[in-house]
């Protein structure tokens, strides 16, 4: 049993590492080490939950539910996942990484309980969703970008006209007045570029607008 337990912990960490590699290649908040630790930790919690209380349960007049340990892993992952979610310029980021951590914990629990096939299947399904479906989404739906522009206030309408000519409709628009220099402001745009629309062309179109001092496209 000891060898089997060690194998479960190692396999859970390895499967979590596969997901972590994909996230780290995308420069996300939680990467390789975080996902490995989540997989190892959840597998250990599951082993303790399933086998760690066997000696106590054999005693008379003792009755409790050891599966509550595994249940607390699910709720506890909410706090860890929340740490990867950030709000930047009123745009929420990190939801996919948080969901990946949550699934990694589930994989660790499944492997810890001895259901190897289910855990391996879940890990590869997660990788398919993160990588293959990302490419499908970018190809058919488009890619999300956050644009931050420092410009003169009177140049804001010209920026919106330039986007309209490119058939780009911002999903979110915010204008911040810079306190240190009232003659300049910051324009924040949340846009989705379709497959045929490139970042280079967007940058050229915006830079052609007079009054723009700086453009950051994320």
Average pLDDT on 156-182 reads 81
Report the CATH superfamily, name and number, of domain 143-217: ACT domain (3.30.70.260)
Residue-wise burial string across 162-194, b where 16 or more C-beta atoms lie within 10 A, e elsewhere: bbeeeebebeeeeeeeeeeeeebbbbbbbbebe
pLDDT tops 60 at residue 90: no
In 3D space, the residue among 194, 199, 198, 212 whose CA is nearest the CA of residue 157 turns out to be 212
Average pLDDT on 172-201 reads 78
| pLDDT of amino acid 92 | 65
**Residue 123: pLDDT band by 50, 70, 90 thresholds?**
very high
Percent residues over pLDDT 90 in the chain: 14
pTM above 0.95, yes or no: no
**Residue 64: pLDDT band by 50, 70, 90 thresholds?**
low
pLDDT tops 80 at residue 86: no
* Domain spans of the chain, in order of start: 2-140, 143-217
């Amino acid at each position: 049993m000891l060898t089997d337990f060690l194998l479960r912990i190692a396999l859970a960490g390895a499967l979590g590492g596969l997901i972590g590699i994909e996230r780290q290649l995308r420069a996300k908040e939680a990467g390789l080490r975080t996902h490995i630790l989540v997989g190892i930790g959840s597998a250990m919690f599951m082993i303790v939950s399933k086998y760690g209380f066997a000696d106590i349960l054999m005693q008379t007049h003792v009755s409790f539910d050891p599966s509550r340990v595994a249940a607390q892993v699910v709720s506890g992952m909410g706090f860890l996942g929340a740490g990867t979610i950030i709000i930047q310029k009123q745009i929420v980021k990190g939801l996919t990484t948080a969901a990946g951590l949550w699934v990694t914990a589930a994989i660790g629990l499944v492997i810890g309980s001895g259901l190897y096939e289910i855990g391996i299947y879940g890990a590869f399904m997660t990788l398919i969703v993160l990588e293959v479906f990302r490419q499908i989404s970018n190809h058919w739906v488009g890619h999300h970008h956050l644009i931050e522009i420092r410009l003169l206030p009177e140049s804001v309408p010209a920026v919106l006209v330039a986007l309209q000519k490119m058939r780009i409709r911002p999903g979110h628009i915010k204008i911040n007045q810079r306190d240190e220099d009232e003659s300049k402001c910051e324009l924040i745009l949340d846009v989705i570029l379709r497959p045929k629309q490139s970042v280079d062309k967007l940058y050229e179109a915006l830079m052609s607008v007079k009054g723009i001092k700086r453009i950051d496209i994320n």
